[in-house]
Amino acid sequence: MRKIARNSQNLPLKRGTWSPEEDQKLIAYINRHGIRNWIEMPKAAGLLRSGKSCRLRWMNYLRPDIKRGNFSMEEVETILKLHEILGNRWSAIAAKLPGRTDNEIKNLWNTRLKKNYVKNNINTAAQAPKLQGTQTSTAEFKKRKLSENIDVPLPTAPKILKPEDSEGSPKLPISYFSSSFNLVNDLIINENQIIEENVGLLESNGEDCLWGPQFSTEGQTCRVEDYGDTCTVEMWVQELLHGV
DNA sequence: AACTCGGGCAACCGCGAGGTC
DNA sequence: CGACCTCGCGGTTGCCCGAGT
């Protein structure tokens, strides 16, 4: 039997869709007092909701900086690129998309992008401009990061080359990365820092490096560039979004 | 018009991290 | 150091609505 959730006054908590009145109460309270304690907030604001529910409603819907409406091509493109690198780490992806929430991005992925992405990978794996390297679920990622006894091989990690390392390397194809390259690059750097912590840990324990020949992101994009005009990112995103 | 079905999205749940006592 | 509390995250559920029959 399901337990009925109750608030701190032992009143049964309301669940389901929020009414405009509840929204108003929450907004008014936060505007007046700010956010201090989500657990106490519903009581103080006169809402029969759990603190969690209030937080979710505010974060995903009521915040003034939420951008509503359809995702732009650029946003979708960014999500796809970041998902390649970060996997299902929606909050990290959302952090790079001002005004978009993790829930919104997660829903977009689950309802629209995922199936087309899978289909695309099956049908045109060779054409899709994919960044190779990590595509790791959060649970997997955390497990690896925190585990002191990693006994499974880590995926091949992209390595960021320092400027001096990249001498003679092909230049980045601007058409592919355009404005979001720095974004992707930043994230890869962050990921590498974490992965390198693991490697450092293992190496300091006298273990071998976990992955074989390292490669640069620049090397990867060169492969992308090899596809030339036959498959631009824009075309790919179109296909993911509209299946055309 | 009535019904079914599927997609989209808001909300809930469980879990883990981090802070405090 | 462990218990407890709060917060945040990702996975999942369930409702609503429009399209199709």
132-171 of chain A touching strand C, CB 7 A cut-off: 137-139
b/e per residue A175-203 (b: at least 16 CB within 10 A):
ebbeebbeebeebbeebbeebeebbeebe
Whether CATH 1.10.10.60 fits A1-64: yes
A36 touches strand C (CB under 7 A): yes
By C-alpha to C1' distance, B9 is nearest to A107
Pick the CATH number of A69-244 from 3.40.50.1000, 1.10.10.10, 2.60.40.1730, 1.10.10.60: 1.10.10.60
Higher pLDDT, A79 or A243: A79
Domains A1-64 and A69-244 share a fold: yes
Q: What are the residue boundaries of the structural domains of chain A, listed by start? A: 1-64, 69-244
Q: Specify the pLDDT at position A105.
A: 92
A114 touches strand C (CB under 7 A): no
What is the per-residue pLDDT across A149-187, written as a single tens digit (0 to 9) for each? 333 333 333 333 333 333 333 333 333 333 344 454 555
- What integer pLDDT is reported at residue A100 of this predicted model? 92
- Find which nucleotide's C1' atom is closest to A138's CA: C10
CA–C1' gap, A163 and C12, in angstroms: 44
